[in-house]
Amino acid sequence: MKREYEDPTTGRRMSIEYCFDDDILTVTRMDGEEVEVEVYDDPFESHQMPGEIVFEMLVNERDPAFVEVLPKNLLELVEENHEVTLQGRLRKFYEDREYEKYQGWICQGLDCKVNFVAQAVTGLFYEEFVDEESGDFVELMPISSKGVGQDYDYEDEQQWIGVDAGQGNGPVYELFTSNAYSQAYPSLDAFLEDLRPEQE
């Protein structure tokens, strides 16, 4: 998992990265040619918490002057971390970096703010989903988290917006930690058409 940030006023940059395989968390701060790297070889030892939790903590506690810089290689991250090969309209969404346009918009039908680079999207995701009628396992992956609450500032850790990676253009589903899912939109395009900028 990796998140990158920039201070638009000063040009300072920083990144926060966590490697599951090595259990190493790295914070890199860049100010011109000056680079400062902070490495946590064992986040649990240093913070008494698992690395992915420390990662989220550092993301949430970063200097508010820094705004997120969306990754150019989100397609690569999604395919690698979810072990899928996207196709059709869904692949185009990532290849053309449409997520940059819609990032942080409000999904009217689900009453939430979208985050296409949330931890569940770019990191490891372990939830399983079951078809209620057949009882069969269904492979679904998140494409966005759901920011909820009065100001949409709380990221619900029990629900996501997802798709079947084998389908090129939807449907788009609500995903729940209870192994349940429900269709929210018939297609990816229908989902995107329902998004509106937070401030209009």
Per-residue pLDDT of the chain (200 residues; tens, 9 = 90+): 778 889 989 999 998 988 877 889 999 999 989 999 999 888 888 888 888 888 888 888 888 888 888 888 899 989 998 999 999 999 999 999 999 999 999 999 999 999 999 888 987 788 889 888 888 888 899 999 999 988 887 888 789 999 998 888 889 999 998 889 999 999 999 999 999 998 75
Of 52, 69, 86, which marks where a domain is finished? 69
List the domain range (segments joined by +) for residue 45: 2-69
Dist. CA 68–CA 163, nearest whole Å: 24
Same domain for 6 and 105, yes or no, is: no
Of 53, 69, 85, which marks where a domain is finished? 69
State the pTM of this model: 0.76
The three state secondary structure string of the chain is CEEEEECCCCCCEEEEEEECCCCEEEEEEEECCEEEEEEECCHHHHHCCCHHHHHHHHHHCCCCCCEEECCCCHHHHHHHHHCCCCCHHHHHHHHCCCHHHHCCCEECCCCEEEECCCHHHHCCCCCCEECCCCCCEECCEEEEEEEECCCCCEEEEEEEEEECCCCCCCCEEEEECCCCEEEEECCHHHHHHCEECCCC
Q: Which CATH number fits the domain that encloses residue 36?
A: 3.30.720
Of 33, 50, 69, which marks where a domain is finished? 69
How many CB atoms are closer than 10 A to CB 99?
A: 22
